[in-house]
Amino acid sequence: MSEGGARRRGGGRPPEGQPVIDRAFALLASFDGDHRAQTLAELARRCGIPRSSTLRLARSLLGVGALERLDDGRYVVGLRLLEAASLAPRGHGLRTVAMPYMEDLFHVTRQHVLFAVRDQGEALLVERLSARDASPVRYRVGGRLPLTSTGVGLVLLAFAPPAVQEEAIAAYEPGHGDDDIRTPDDLRGVLAEVRRGDHAVGRRYRPFRMTTVAAPVRDGEAVVAALSVVAPDTGPGTPGYGPAVRATARALSRRLAEDGSQAVARG
């Protein structure tokens, strides 16, 4: 789970003459889970932008609050960006409607509860609830996951447009998905099963045994998000969270259908 590091770094060298907005967002995108605070030199190097231009860009972004500086002079992402992002309908808007349902699921299971949406060929984790003593997981709110991996990814992929699915199947390599999915054909079979059963079950054996159950969240006909519980797999006696996840996803879908896109727009 590289959280899109490769994508960002791969896309981090804009050609000369690239519009200033592309450069500004390349600069913002160079922050990730492993680079939350960066010096000017790091920013310039990681974005492949000349240092003088990086300084000008950084100053503009400081001016609008999209960046802030730590006491040691390093740059971090600013609060102003959080404020603007909070109005993204497919992010915080959906999340606001989903949150009480996630709370319910969390109360009942006391395990990790994940809520994700699809952004082109990846899943974006919009929210995660976790108990203080829950086993650690690598899923970070705002982070990206491959669609071929974990329950929410598989649900979002199973209900994605055929072209997105075919691309993911064609590109599939073992290790990019759950440990039971070894070949592109395995993946194709799993996706068909997800659609048939209207939920996904995933297992991982490393670093320890985890199991996940995910179900689609619909706004009318369209699958707009996926909800899951991720829990340690403790063998035959492991509680089955499937019915709870599926019932909660249906309750949330019903709520979205009742309110229509108004609910999301209201956030």
Q: Is 21 in the site for its own copies (CB under 8 A)?
A: yes
**Least separation in angstroms between CB 185 and its own copies:** 31
Backbone φ and ψ for 233, nearest 5 degrees, come out as -95, 110
Site for its own copies in 53-72 (CB under 8 A): 57, 60-61, 63-66, 68
> How distant is the alpha carbon of residue 174 from its chain centre?
21
* Residue from 41, 76, 171, 192 binding its own copies (CB under 8 A): 76
- Return the C-alpha torsion angle 197, 181, 248, 208, nearest 10: 140
Q: Does 80 bind its own copies (CB under 8 A)?
A: yes
36 near its own copies, rule: CB under 8 A: yes
Q: Does 260 bind its own copies (CB under 8 A)?
A: no
> Cβ 226 to its own copies, closest distance in Å?
14
Q: How far apart are CA 28 and CA 85, in angstroms?
A: 13
| Residue 198 engages its own copies in binding (rule: CB under 8 A) | no
Region binding its own copies by CB under 8 A among candidate stretches 137-145, 162-170, 199-207, 231-239 = 137-145
91-130 residues near its own copies, rule: CB under 8 A: 91-93, 96, 99-101, 103-104, 106-107, 117, 119, 124, 126, 129-130
